[in-house]
Structure 1
Amino acid sequence: MQHPISITSIGSISPLGNTSEAVWKCYQTDAHCFTEKDGVLVAKLPLRLQEDIDLLRQSNLKYKALDNSVLYALFASRQAIENAGWSLNDNFGINIGSSRGATALFESYHKAFLQNKKAETLSSPTTTLGNISSWVAHDLQTKGPEISHSITCSTALHAMLNGIAWINSGMCDKFLVGGSEAPLTAFTVAQMQALKIYARTRTDTSSKTHLEQSQEVLKGLDCAQPDYIKNFPCQALKLNKTENTMILGEGAAMACLESGISQNALVKIIGIGYATEILEHNASLSTDAICFQRSMAMALDGFKSDLVDIIITHTPGTIKGDQAEINAIETIFCNKRPVLTTNKWKIGHSLGASGLLNIEMAVLMLQHQKFISVPYLDHEAPKQIRYILVNAVGFGGNAVSILLSK
């Protein structure tokens, strides 16, 4: 890092809610947000937020043709710049990405094409990956640069890297960065199932008691109310699991970045790391996650690793993926491993948006000075939370690590 960068605001929409208060309250529960859709487990937005997205769609004639991945980004971006106090027509930059992009809309257009042998007029401009950042720029009326990309599940943190690079270059002093994902379609789930990494659905009657308890806990909160709950169907970070347990979630999260140490900073970014490794398999890391070793080492360059209090892991709930990241952490931190945590047991894997939702989790822990644990794991919570490392990686072996401090 040439200079520290401030995160002055976070805006998000997810199964946890859409305000920092709601998200924090939901993190204080041991209930997850999974529900069954078409026979599979997913993490959907709460009904109230689905209605808010429908209202956004109806608010502008141009927005009626947009995919949810774009609307989620619009919703979270408006919230982020309002919280940061940025003005419309400002020259801040925008970099928002997505792993899958306009999934539902693309599938709908393709289905119509197979039936009619003719593409609809807006089928191309409304399904490109550049569609998200360009619509956010249009909605916010910014005159700054706008960038889009897809770097699979590390997309949002790569957006953060880009924003930092632009700011440190002196080409821009503010950047809105993040990721958006609306992947809860039958075809997208089927792709994950084809990789043999998706959690199996079990609707046994033994879940009833846990359902009643969880619904009572979630009562009055913004986080999604599950139709039923099996005890923690996503076993992210649990290393003795015997099957893969990844579950897809949806949402978007944005961060406002500003140069230097801003007076209204939520946290500051003091280290960044990135790496790519040669693939051993099309969909998995090497056994020791070489890319994570390199990204974490880069983020920690010149920083004492034993000062890191918490690592928010990428760990999607797969046997090999989770273990590989732990192996990398053990290599870098040796016998002084920080406390590990994740939110995927609760909200699933939102692919390109997941890294920024992890950043939001880190910001909340630093602000509240309270550790968010994984209920089925034994943790020794740190007495003080000063430094948190956030990891993300995606298909293609591309890892990012971001070091945050108060």
Structure 2
Amino acid sequence: MIKPISITAITSISPLGDSMEKVWGNYKNPNHFFAKKVFGSNEEWVSSLSEESRARVRTLKESDNKYKNLDNTVLYALLASRDAMEMAEWKSKDNFGINMGSSRGATALFEKYHEDFITENTASTLSSPTTTLGNISSWIAHDLQTQGPEISHSITCSTALHSLLNGVAWIQSGMANKFMVGGSEAPLTPFTLAQIKALKIYSNNEGEYPCQALNLEKNRNSMILGEGASVACLEKGITENALAVVTGVGYATEILQHNISISSDAECFQRSMRMALGDTNPDEVDVIVMHSPGTIKGDVSEIRAIEKVFCNKVPCLTTNKWKIGHTFGASGALSLEFAVLMLTNQEFISVPFIESSRLSKINKIMVNAVGFGGNAVSVLLSK
């Protein structure tokens, strides 16, 4: 167990919107946010930012020459970070730390610069500084004018929750009192789509729900890509303005058996969830926001791990990927936001595929994320 750490703000820009009110309203909406878009010569399901959010991104890009050459991963993170700083009422003089991760990084810019290089046999002056992974946190620090530590990293799809782990560690160590953490991803490019489709896990469903995340009866993989960023503000102790409290964190990596899959009963999740629980009775956990990518093996293995850890009473299970798809390195932060919204509104949001019990009260929620290679993270939140 860890000393309590408050989440005093959590914001996002995603297909669900760019404010807590819009996001919560769209979680209560029973519809998904997928649409077919053309990539190369093919049409594929994706989940893109709303036009309103895209307008904010364009306005930011045009507000200053220095933003014009930045990738969407940076622009999404800048908008979410500004909103989070305002919500938490932080000031630049607070010198808070920043840890913003991304699985793919500046995918669109990298592909553009590489295409130009193949054609012209020369590279743009800005190609290196604008495609390095560290430029996300650096730009946030520059934009918010904080002097605290800046960290960037990529640990595939559990990246955002690893950012939270880092923020917790800095605060627990006494080296910082406040940390801004999260993830940003803008993977909707032809090359990225082609890579995921090559894994044979992408959805070609034409039914009511193109992504069948947490449908345990599905007979085909149904993962769909989404985009967005989410940022949380962490503060030492339990503050008056806390939206939720981080009371446990867990992490684990299992021995790699395959380049992309975890074991059939997700040993990494079993270990990370047990570590996050610490001395907490598993029966006290009301909800688990699952990683649940919409693949057959990924969904089932996580369910099996949950059943082994929560053998007496399996909590209510949910995920947001049937609605907004998989946002890679940002997905854990968006799941964290989903959990905080359920805690603050005291309402459980189910998936269309499984029947869930009604909850009169929600006190504790666990959030899971895992990436290629079985690097799992679990976070326990309390009201």
Q: Same fold per TM (> 0.5)?
A: yes
Match of 1:47 in 2: 51
Instruction: Choose from 323, 328, 338 the match for 1:361.
Output: 338
Match of 2:132 in 1: 128
Shift of 1:193: 0.3
CA distance in 1, matches of 2:244, 2:166: 18
Q: Flag the 1:61–1:49 CA change in 2: closer, same or farther, 3 A.
A: same
Q: Does 1:290 align with 2:284?
A: no
CA distance in 2, matches of 1:279, 1:163: 27
The one-letter amino acid paired with 2:34 is F
Instruction: Choose from 71, 78, 81 the match for 1:77.
Output: 81
Q: Does 1:389 align with 2:366?
A: yes
Q: Does 1:163 align with 2:167?
A: yes
Aligned residue for 1:336, secondary structure, equals coil
Instruction: Choose from 316, 326, 331 the match for 1:339.
Output: 316
Aligned residue for 1:104, secondary structure, equals helix
Structure 1 runs (4+) deviating above 3 angstroms are none
Would you say the 8 A contact 2:2–2:248 is kept in 1? no
Shift of 1:2: 3.3
C-alpha distance after superposition, 1:67-113 (max 9, x if no partner) = 00000000000000100000123210000000000000000000000
Match of 2:356 in 1: 379
Shift of 1:152: 0.4
Shift of 1:191: 0.7
Q: How does 1:163-202 map to 2 (within 5 A)?
A: 163-200=167-204, 202=206
Match of 1:103 in 2: 107
Percent identity between the two aligned chains: 64
Would you say the 8 A contact 1:306–1:333 is kept in 2? yes
Q: How does 1:2-401 map to 2 (within 5 A)?
A: 2-38=2-38, 39-200=43-204, 202=206, 230-401=207-378
C-alpha distance after superposition, 1:283-318 (max 9, x if no partner) = 011111110000000001100000100000000000
Shift of 1:240: 1.2
CA distance in 1, matches of 2:342, 2:55: 29
CA distance in 2, matches of 1:140, 1:107: 28
CA distance in 1, matches of 2:2, 2:45: 43
CA distance in 2, matches of 1:381, 1:141: 45
Shift of 1:379: 1.1
Shift of 1:201: 5.2
CA distance in 1, matches of 2:192, 2:105: 11
CA distance in 2, matches of 1:84, 1:180: 19
Shift of 1:396: 1.7
Would you say the 8 A contact 2:258–2:373 is kept in 1? no
Q: TM-score, normalised by structure 1?
A: 0.92
The one-letter amino acid paired with 1:113 is F
The one-letter amino acid paired with 2:134 is G
C-alpha distance after superposition, 1:318-365 (max 9, x if no partner) = 000111101110111113110100000000000100001011111111
CA distance in 1, matches of 2:205, 2:197: 12
C-alpha distance after superposition, 1:121-150 (max 9, x if no partner) = 111110011010000001001000000000
Would you say the 8 A contact 2:157–2:331 is kept in 1? yes
Aligned residue for 1:89, secondary structure, equals helix
- Say which is worse superposed, 34-43 or 377-386, in terms of deviation: 377-386
For structure 1, the residue ranges without an aligned partner over 5 or more in a row are 203-229
Q: Alpha carbon RMSD of aligned pairs, Å?
A: 0.8
Shift of 1:376: 2.6
CA distance in 2, matches of 1:263, 1:4: 13
The one-letter amino acid paired with 1:7 is I
Would you say the 8 A contact 1:89–1:140 is kept in 2? no
